Amino acid sequence: MYVWAIGILAAGQSSTMTGTYTGQFVMEGFLNLKWKRWQRVLLTRTIAIMPTVMIAIFSGISDMTTLNDLLNVLMSLQLPFALLPILTFTSSSHVMGDFSNGKIMKAITVALATVVIVINMYFVVTYLQELPEHWAIYLAIAVAVCAYLLFVVYLALFCLAVMGVDAITRIPKVGGMFNTTAGLVLYDLQQSSAE
């Protein structure tokens, strides 16, 4: 039980530091600050952490919990946009060469990615069911969900096409979008021009 608690504490500290450092470096770049280091750190970290502090001061713990739930849902929605391209690139022999994923690794990673994405989508649906019931909210959610699912399905099908599932390129009217040759030729041209 203590190992679990230490792991959760370490994960929380890691994500907090990552977010704070990211905010600091982004703000330093955008503001083009030429101050002393301690002044830059103070300003940028204050800007990065101030929204959370303000909610904690002026609201109750329930608002912090709601904000935390919303942030978890947003991260769950963003996960396929990181996971699927990584699987696509690591499975492409044109990109990775001899280090591309083998058939067993492709099967394992696709299975794990599917499980993780399905679990995250379950939690997103659970969160959306708690929203107020109004037709405008449902309409906005429906439009956003349709656009989101279309793009995630496109990423998944392109990933499978790169992995060698030829049936995807033979789908009527849309199979041409998953022709990986054009993308790989572009990649090869970029590599040869870089050399």
Give per-residue pLDDT as tens, 153-191. Answer: 988 988 888 888 888 878 887 777 776 654 554 455 455
| pTM exceeds 0.85 for this model | no
pLDDT digits 0-9 by tens, 10-24: 777 777 777 777 767
Distance CA 161, CA 48 (A): 41
Quick check: 107 pLDDT over 90?
Answer: yes
Distance CA 107, CA 102 (A): 9
Read off the pLDDT of each residue in 46-67 and give the average, rounded to a whole number.
79
* pLDDT of 5: 74
Tokens of 72: 């978890």
Q: Is the dihedral of CA 134, 135, 137, 138 positive or negative?
A: positive
